[in-house]
């Protein structure tokens, strides 16, 4: 029993593990960087897919973001902010793709999701009860602009707090709260349009 307590006390917390991996990756350790990316890749793909509504573009955004993160990692000052920093890079990569694309086209999301965890379907299922209602929510979700899709996914699928979302988006908490409220209202309006 006493050994078990000592073992648990010696095990690093998740945040200290991440900080250690970041430190090693900043020193050029490729395996440490891969471990950091593996911890986040499916969530990043889910986010990029929700913003871009296209699996190939989402994969490109995440790939470009990982490359950029590797290049920029030595400049990251606060190691505890690695995940927020990486998510911001992905969000900005998605915005760049949307700018290049011009206007976001509406396409089906078809990323294979091996990782367990919530998905866009879970957001839809939380709002709707039947398959036809889930399809209705998906169509309404596609009507939203990328920024509104982003904040809804961050809050309802990734289950991030308003404070964490504000940090990710680089805005005050009040602004994040207002944007989430506006996104919910926009989704409600899109649902009304789809029900007609």
What is the reported pTM? Answer: 0.70
Mean pLDDT, all residues of the chain: 81
Average pLDDT in the 110-124 region?
Answer: 49
Per-domain residue ranges of the chain: 13-103, 118-196
Read off the pLDDT of residues 9-42 as tens digits, 9 standing for 90 and up.
Answer: 444 567 788 889 999 999 999 999 999 999 889 9
Distance (Å, whole) CA 69 – CA 62:
10
First to last CA, the chain: 64
pLDDT of res. 80:
85
User: ∠ CA(52), CA(55), CA(58), 5° rounding?
Assistant: 55
Contact between residue 55 and residue 110 where contact means Cβ atoms under 8 Å apart: yes
pLDDT of res. 175:
95
Domain range 13-103, CATH architecture: Orthogonal Bundle (1.10)
Helix (H) or strand (E) holding 158: none
Which CATH class name applies to 118-196?
A: mainly alpha
pLDDT of res. 1:
40
Residues 6+ away with beta carbon under 8 Å from 62: 41, 44, 45, 48, 90, 93
């Amino acid at each position: 029993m006493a050994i078990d307590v000592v073992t648990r006390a010696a095990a690093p917390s998740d945040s200290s593990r991440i900080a250690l991996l970041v430190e090693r990756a900043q020193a050029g350790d490729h395996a440490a960087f891969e471990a950091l990316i593996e911890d986040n890749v499916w969530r990043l793909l889910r986010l990029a897919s929700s913003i871009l509504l296209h699996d190939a573009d989402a994969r490109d955004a995440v790939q470009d973001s990982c490359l950029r993160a590797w290049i920029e990692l030595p400049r990251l000052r606060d190691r505890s902010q690695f995940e927020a920093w990486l998510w911001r890079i992905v969000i900005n990569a998605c915005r760049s793709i949307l700018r290049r694309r011009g206007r976001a086209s509406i396409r089906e999301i078809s990323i294979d999701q091996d990782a367990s965890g919530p998905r866009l379907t879970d957001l839809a299922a939380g709002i709707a009860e039947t398959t036809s209602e889930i399809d209705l929510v998906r169509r309404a979700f596609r009507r939203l602009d990328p920024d509104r899709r982003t904040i809804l996914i961050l809050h309802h699928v990734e289950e991030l707090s308003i404070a964490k979302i504000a940090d990710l988006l680089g805005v005050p908490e009040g602004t994040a709260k207002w944007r989430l409220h506006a996104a919910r209202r926009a989704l409600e309006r899109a649902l009304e349009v789809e029900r007609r």
